[in-house]
Amino acid sequence: MNDSLLAYLNGEYVPKDQACVPITDRGLLFGDSVYEVIPAYGGRPFRVPHHLRRLDRSLAAIRMQNPLSQDEWQKIFERLTQQLPGKDQSIYLQVTRGSYPVRNHVIPDDIQPNVIAFTSVNPARDPDKARRGIKVITLEDIRWHRCDIKATTLLANVLARAQATEEGADEAILIRDAAAMEGTASNLFVVSNGLVITPPDSPELLPGITRDLVLELCREAGVPFAQATIGMPDLEHADEIWLTSSTREVAAVVELNGRPVGNGTPGEMWHRMDALFQACKERLRLGGDCHVD
Ligand code: PDD
């Protein structure tokens, strides 16, 4: 663990392991805060405008304004990632409602947000591991009805992941009203007869930045795709299942509830999408960008 890194805290850069917010912070007391996780490949942050747009959306949904401009955020990301030049890393940022002396559910008028950001090294991608795929289970989705907000109130996700781990799985796909929504920290895709399908945007799932890119890559490569409800039978009979996120990239699911998906190895379409995704990362590493449209 490299604890000598500096973190951003309300305008200052302080050693990560010494950066503190008060115990009266509403993020701590109420989960009253939102966050982003931004991958940086070769030290270059990935799809920053997309992440900042989603941050704006999350803040607006919880009745907050973005305390910093795009430029200010960019400068923070630069300063943080420069500490690990050329390295793959994850930038974490969080904006909390702020600290207030009185604990009360009512949102105070005179409160200033606490803003934190830090970076951590990501281990280099292991292509063999990616080709082994991951195992998932399905669980009931017991989360609230605003999963489109990237809020730090993640206890239901954490408990579902704990159950998945206990059952020897890497992730859980959450089922609400007989429809598969997403993973505890990832978006869901199935491939069926050559068609790539992801559940439609709704308040019940996070509009993932990786998911958007996968849809763009499908469009660019002429791979047919659709946004449609995925029921349990669709999941069970899918040729392929993928889970996407800023940390997992595009992961192939090879086992669902103890049964093989397809022939139990990552499918042909996954290989194609993974190659497109890796090429996109490579463009970013070389100083280009990952925007395909
Ligand atoms: N989570 N759905 C949920 C519930 C998530 O928490 C995440 C990401 C995603 C994928 O979104 P994106 O492609 O923008 O990373 C979908 C991050 C990685 C986390 O909480 O650590």
Phi, psi of 14 (to 5 degrees): -130, 155
* Res 292: pLDDT: 56
DSSP codes of every residue in 164-204: HHHTT-SEEEEEETTEEEEESSSEEEEEETTEEEEPPP-TT
pLDDT band at 262 (very low <50, low <70, confident <90, very high): very high
* Res 287: pLDDT: 80
In the 8-state DSSP scheme, what is residue 90?
Answer: E
**Rounded to whole angstroms, how far apart are CA atoms 30 and 88?**
32
For residue range 83-106, list pLDDT tens digits in order. Answer: 999 999 999 999 999 999 999 999
Structure tokens at 209: 């930045």
Which residues does a 6 A CB cutoff place in the pocket of ligand 1? Answer: 37, 182, 185-187, 206, 208-211, 244-247
* Res 1: pLDDT: 54
Return the residue whose CA atom lies nearest to atom 16 of ligand 1: 186
SS3 assignment, position 254: strand
* Res 6: pLDDT: 98
Model pTM score: 0.97
Q: Per-residue pLDDT averaged across 249-268, rounded?
A: 98
pLDDT value at 2 more than 70: no
pLDDT value at 290 more than 80: no
Say whether 150 is catalytic: yes
Q: Per-residue pLDDT averaged across 250-254, rounded?
A: 98
Share of the chain above pLDDT 70, in %: 97
For residue range 137-169, list pLDDT tens digits in order. Answer: 999 999 999 999 999 999 999 999 999 999 999
* Res 252: pLDDT: 98
> Are 181 and 153 within 8 A, CB to CB?
no
DSSP codes of every residue in 227-244: E--EEHHHHHT-SEEEEE
* Res 107: pLDDT: 98
Structure tokens at 114: 């606490």
* Res 174: pLDDT: 99
pLDDT value at 47 more than 70: yes
Pocket test for ligand 1, best of 50, 246, 250, 280 (most atoms within 8 A of CB): 246
Pocket test for ligand 1, best of 33, 187, 273 (most atoms within 8 A of CB): 187
> Structural domains in the chain?
2-121 (3.30.470.10), 127-285 (3.20.10.10)
Minimum-distance ligand 1 atom for the alpha carbon of 211: 13
* Res 19: pLDDT: 96
**Strands 240-245 vs 249-256: parallel, antiparallel or unpaired:** antiparallel
pLDDT value at 136 more than 60: yes
Tell me how crowded residue 267 is: count the other CB atoms within 10 A of its CB. 21
* Res 286: pLDDT: 85
Rounded to the nearest integer, the mean pLDDT of the chain is 96
> Are 156 and 183 within 8 A, CB to CB?
no
